[in-house]
Structure 1
Amino acid sequence: MTTTVLISGAGIAGPALAFWLHKRGFAPTVVERAPALREGGSAVDFRGEQMALLERMGILEDVRARETAMGAQVIVDTRGKKVAQMPSVFFSGEVEIERGDLTRILYDHTKDHVEYVFGDYITGLDERSDGVEVSFAHGEARGFDLVVGADGLHSGVRRLAFGEEERFRTDLGLHTAGFTAPNHLGLDHLGRLCSVPGRTVMVASGRDRSALNVSFVFASGPLEVGRRDVEAQKKALAERYADFGWEVPALLESLGGADALYFDSVSQIHLDRWSQGRVVLLGDAAWCAGPGGSGTGLAMMGAYVLAGELAAAHGDHEVAFARYEEKMRGPIKVSQKQAAGIGTFLAPQTRFMVGYRNFLYRVLGSKPMTRVFTWLTSRAANAATLEDYDAPVAARG
């Protein structure tokens, strides 16, 4: 009998795991709370060892066909004057793609072999000796051999299996927001970044020249804004950036009519272990690092390792989960350490620190520093090695 695996989350980590589980002879099902694939989202990049993973999956050409092809990121002051310029490799890696486009590619490569259930989510996990009885918000309860939480920073699976999020979340003192606006700046495969103490705005236009991808990053403690209260989030952003200057008034005007808004704290997840019985966590649900930690690539690498170890262990989840964690802990430690200091670059707290950050950008963006800079930005991506796994047929769960 084929081992059945329920994966919570149809973002990137979940479908990537489903891809490899199917290749290894397992029967994956993906459940997603949203009614359909989530479109749009910020761009994600790949570099170093992660490029080999995309090639091994057979999706590298698809990713290149939809890449943003971003050029330089220009740092400007509030008058719009250029103060520094960063090469594309810093923000965009070797290849960059919008999150929604990558999600679509992964879905298209798995939909014919993987069961997807949209518009539902897990509400209960009852582990038994031979599997897990899973309750859903809308659908009937079902039994699976294994359950994987690939449902992000605010993972429902993690809450059910390990406890409340606050026990494991470390906030980095930042909030971030992202949305799409009309490209009134006329940017063509270019980005702009502007900072004042404690607040930053980033805009970029890549494959779709009619649109601007807008990101706000600001220093902040906990905010009394509901995670699903989009209007309250928009109001909080408008108040926080009301006196920013530069192009922000036009961006805030576009924010009012934005169809979708991402708004959340910049946080990390730290767990003593990533599995509990037949339940295991993957990606941000297990180890969210934050911006600059190569999170998307490492989530896909983790999916590759988890599926490979399950196959190598012939479905023995205890052995496979332990090996998966052993191989991914080191790379995740590097990722989280690299991301922990991102606030110094994304939202410097004082006028002096803004100026110093811009000075560092000028130095790191110079031609003599290109090789060092590329190494610095690739440390997290190269921390996980792409192993070769045999593909035995999965055994019973």
Structure 2
Amino acid sequence: MPQLRILVVGASIAGPMAAYWLAKAGASVDIIERYPSLRKGGQVVDIRHSAVTIVRKVPKLEEALVASGAPLQGLQMVGKANKPLVAIQPTGIPEEQFLISDFEIFRDDLATVLYDLTKDNPSVHYVFGETVSAMRQEKEKVIVDFANGLLPQSRYDLVVAADGATSRTRALGFNCNVRDGIDPYNAWAAYCTIDKDLLNGSNMGEFSVSTPGRGIMLGPDHVKGANRVILMGNNPRDMPERLLPYQEAAKKGDNAMKAYLVDFFKGHGRDEILAAVAESDSLYATECVQVKFPRLFNGNFVLVGDAGYSPGPIGTGTTLAITGAYVLAGEINDHPGDMAAALRGYSDRMQPIIKDMQKIPAGFPSVMTPETDWGLWLRDTLLYVISYVMVVYQLKPVAQFFRWIAGVYCIAWARDSYGIPDYEWKA
């Protein structure tokens, strides 16, 4: 049987992970990325649940992730006047995680680890600075044209879109608009690295909140004298007009976005962070959305990760990306010569996982960044009580009760319950 030739679009997380497993399924993989290199910066992401199971199937990958992990000891919730409220730390048990994961890693570091895992594989070929300009399906093949000429027009057995929630490749593969299948959540987040250490050498991050729906997270960076910042705005879903100023700033570029952030956080009380953000050259802002596309594949074209099922504000995107990449390759491995059956198997296995990991608990994410002062007081009080009881009464029934309450807002923060299969890989 001739070797499968597969194109993967996107080199962030889902793309390299898919390339690794597809190579083990015996495929030849071209992986393209529209940026000239791996993108730097980004927020802390975590690996939980089924993704922990999958990571442990890759020799030495868990060790590499731990070695590259973010220097984040925990997260200090900060109230008015910068008063510490409660500190949240990892459980120390990767299979039973709380708000802070035992696998916390910066997005760019995770992408680098996965790139290093695959870049020397003879079955994987990376091309940076390239995008798909057109494609058409013909006799169970996909004919692909490339925008920048770094690859010639090529015929593939499968094209995998792994290029994010606003995937341009998805629009080509399904002949639809980029925004089709996107469910806005009326929220946004902005990320950057600042060249100041406002934590004074501490590895304990800080999360400050003010109304309405404003939050700033400050965390340590690998580089001494630098911090990473996440700024976020959450609005009620029935008030889409509140998102318009952000969207206008996003269209105009970094300077407009920095001016918007300063205005948005006026009175929040962390002006020193905003001043440092204004001087940063690494600002990246994105709208918070879920992707609920009606199908995961169309002929020999398939969606993986955020391109097919971005979970929005609940923090399961990395877990879904790693899980989807593994399951897609495993089903291709187990259905030699029958791509249609492989893609059906992938979709059937992933749909219940996606449905579960896209569940947004009542009141989330406003429970973390409340709209009103009353809501903020209630949040702070509950966090304090839950944290205190879990620390002081760790092994008693009352602690288990509070763990159950916390679990309502921890969709993918416990043990793997999906029965991820062990595929017998060809290569």
Please give the alpha-carbon distance, in whole angstroms, between the structure 1 residues aligned to 2:362 and 2:331: 29
What are the residue-to-residue correspondences of 1:179-190 with 2, within 5 Å? 179-181=192-194, 182-190=196-204
Aligned to 1:176: 189
Residues 1:93 and 2:115 aligned together: no
Aligned to 2:331: 309
- Residue 295 (structure 1) aligned to one of 317, 321, 325: 317
RMSD: 2.0
Supply the AA of the counterpart residue of 2:308.
A
Aligned to 2:93: none
Aligned to 1:25: 26
Please give the alpha-carbon distance, in whole angstroms, between the structure 1 residues aligned to 2:218 and 2:405: 22
- Residue 224 (structure 1) aligned to one of 248, 253, 277: 248
Moved more, 140-149 or 373-382: 373-382
Unaligned runs of 5+ in 1: none
Aligned to 2:126: 116
Please give the alpha-carbon distance, in whole angstroms, between the structure 1 residues aligned to 2:32 and 2:19: 11
Shift in Å, 1:155: 0.2
Any idea what SS the aligned residue of 2:359 has? helix
Percent identity for Structure 1 against Structure 2: 31
Shift in Å, 1:378: 5.3
Please give the alpha-carbon distance, in whole angstroms, between the structure 2 residues aligned to 1:132 and 1:228: 36
Any idea what SS the aligned residue of 2:358 has? helix
| Aligned pairs, number | 391
What are the residue-to-residue correspondences of 1:319-338 with 2, within 5 Å? 319-338=341-360
Judge conservation of contact 2:135–2:143 (CA < 8 Å) in 1: yes
Supply the AA of the counterpart residue of 2:243.
G
Aligned to 2:67: 65
Judge conservation of contact 1:290–1:340 (CA < 8 Å) in 2: no
- Residue 230 (structure 2) aligned to one of 215, 220, 245: 215
Q: Deviations over 1:21-70 (max 9, x none)?
A: 11110011111000001122111112333222112112100001111242
Supply the AA of the counterpart residue of 1:149.
A
Any idea what SS the aligned residue of 1:171 has? strand
Aligned to 1:391: 425
Aligned to 2:115: 107
Aligned to 2:287: 265
Shift in Å, 1:363: 2.8
Any idea what SS the aligned residue of 1:112 has? coil
Shift in Å, 1:125: 1.2
Supply the AA of the counterpart residue of 2:350.
M
Shift in Å, 1:372: 3.1
Aligned to 1:147: 159
Any idea what SS the aligned residue of 2:366 has? helix
Please give the alpha-carbon distance, in whole angstroms, between the structure 2 residues aligned to 1:67 and 1:86: 17
Judge conservation of contact 1:125–1:160 (CA < 8 Å) in 2: yes
Shift in Å, 1:341: 4.7
TM-score by length of 2: 0.86
Judge conservation of contact 1:40–1:99 (CA < 8 Å) in 2: yes
Any idea what SS the aligned residue of 2:421 has? coil
- Residue 368 (structure 2) aligned to one of 341, 346, 352: 346
Shift in Å, 1:315: 4.2
Residues 1:380 and 2:394 aligned together: no
Please give the alpha-carbon distance, in whole angstroms, between the structure 2 residues aligned to 1:384 and 1:315: 27
Shift in Å, 1:374: 6.8
